[in-house]
C-alpha cells in the first residue's frame, strides 16, 4: 500500500484544553509532498510545521510542535488518529494555538477519518521496522522496542489512587482496534492539581466534558468511565500520538512503563539516531 490521503476535507470545532479558546480545525487532502504538515491559519506568517520529532519544542502536559516562533500545542491525540487510521499525507489547518481537545480522546478524529475515507496518493510508503531490541530508561520509567511483524504496544501505569493503582494492557494496533478500544479513552487529571495548572496558564479549557477528573476517592464525571482501564488506554493513545511523529508506519513491539511525552520524545530521537536498531522496508 502506498501513501494515503483523505478523499475530502474534515472540519471540526472545539476548545483548547490549555487555552480555553474556541478553535477551528481543518484536515485537508495532500497529494503532493510527503507526511503530515500543520499550519496555523490565525498567524500572519502562515508558517508550515512538519509533524516530526525535530519540530517538538515542549512536552509539558502536551506535545507542542513549532517552527520559526510559531507553535501548535496538544497535537498528540490528533496525531494518534492520523497514524493509527493509516492517514499518511494531510495538511492540518489550526485556527488557534492548539488542536481542539474535543471530548478528551481521539474518537472524533478517528470517526471523521473513517467517515470521509482514504485514497492512494501514488507515492510509495516505507515502513520503519525494528531490527533489534532498543531501550531508553529514566529511573523507574522505560520504553523498549523489539522486532515484531505488526505494531504492538504493552503499557504499564502506576498511580497512588484507589481507582487506578497498577494497570497494564497489551494490544496489537490496527485501525479497527484503535477506533474501538483506544480512541475513546479520555485524558485524565486530578482535582488537587487543577488550581496549580491554571495558575501556570494551563487547563483553562478543561472540564468534565473533555477530561476524566478524579478527587481523592473516585471520578467526578457523572457518566463515569468508558472502560474500567480507561487510564492505561489513554496512555497508549498518547504514546501512539508521539510515535506518529516518526512520520511513517512502524513495525515493532513496544513495551512502555510509566512514560510521558518527555520520555516518549527522547525515545523517538534516540531511536532515530541508532540506525542499527531499525530499517526502512
Q: How far is CA 101 from the centre of its chain?
A: 11
Q: Which three cell numbers stand for residue 181?
A: 478500544
The radius of gyration of the chain's CA atoms, rounded to the nearest angstrom, is: 18
Comparing C-alpha atoms, which of 33, 15, 147 is closest to residue 88?
33
Give the ranges where 94-214 is alpha helix by DSSP (H).
107-116, 175-177, 191-199
Contacts of 120 (CB under 8 A, 6+ apart): 1, 2, 3, 4
For this structure, is 261 an active site residue? yes
Comparing C-alpha atoms, which of 119, 117, 122, 92 is closest to residue 32?
122
Catalytic residue among 18, 77, 234, 261: 261
The catalytic site residues sit at 261
Amino acid at each position: 500500500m502506498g501513501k494515503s490521503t483523505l478523499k475530502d476535507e474534515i472540519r471540526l470545532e472545539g476548545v483548547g484544553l490549555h487555552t480555553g479558546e474556541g478553535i477551528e480545525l481543518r484536515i485537508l487532502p495532500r497529494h503532493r509532498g510527503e507526511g503530515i504538515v500543520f499550519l496555523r491559519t490565525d498567524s500572519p506568517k502562515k508558517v508550515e510545521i512538519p509533524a516530526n520529532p525535530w519540530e517538538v519544542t515542549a512536552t509539558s502536559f502536551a506535545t507542542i510542535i513549532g517552527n520559526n516562533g510559531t507553535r501548535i500545542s496538544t497535537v498528540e491525540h490528533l496525531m494518534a488518529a492520523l497514524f493509527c487510521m493509516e492517514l499518511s499525507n494531510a495538511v492540518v489547518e489550526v485556527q488557534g494555538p492548539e488542536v481542539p481537545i474535543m471530548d478528551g480522546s481521539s474518537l472524533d478524529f478517528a470517526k471523521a477519518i473513517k467517515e470521509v475515507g482514504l485514497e492512494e496518493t501514488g507515492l510509495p510508503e516505507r515502513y520503519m521496522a525494528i531490527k533489534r531490541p532498543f531501550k531508553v530508561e529514566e529511573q523507574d520509567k522505560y520504553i523498549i522496542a523489539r522486532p515484531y511483524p505488526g505494531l504492538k504496544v504493552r503499557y504499564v501505569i502506576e498511580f497512588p489512587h484507589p481507582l487506578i493503582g497498577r494497570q497494564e494492557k497489551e494490544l496489537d494496533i490496527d485501525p479497527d482496534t484503535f477506533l474501538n478500544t483506544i480512541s475513546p479513552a479520555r485524558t485524565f487529571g486530578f482535582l488537587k492539581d487543577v488550581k496549580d495548572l491554571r495558575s501556570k496558564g494551563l487547563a483553562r479549557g478543561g472540564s468534565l466534558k473533555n477530561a476524566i477528573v478524579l478527587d481523592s476517592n473516585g471520578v467526578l464525571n457523572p457518566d463515569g468511565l468508558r472502560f474500567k482501564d480507561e487510564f492505561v488506554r489513554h496512555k497508549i493513545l498518547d504514546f501512539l500520538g508521539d510515535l506518529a511523529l516518526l512520520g511513517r508506519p512502524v513495525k515493532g513491539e513496544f513495551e512502555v512503563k510509566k512514560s510521558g511525552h518527555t520520555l516518549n520524545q527522547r525515545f523517538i530521537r534516540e531511536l532515530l539516531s541508532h540506525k542499527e536498531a531499525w530499517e526502512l522496508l
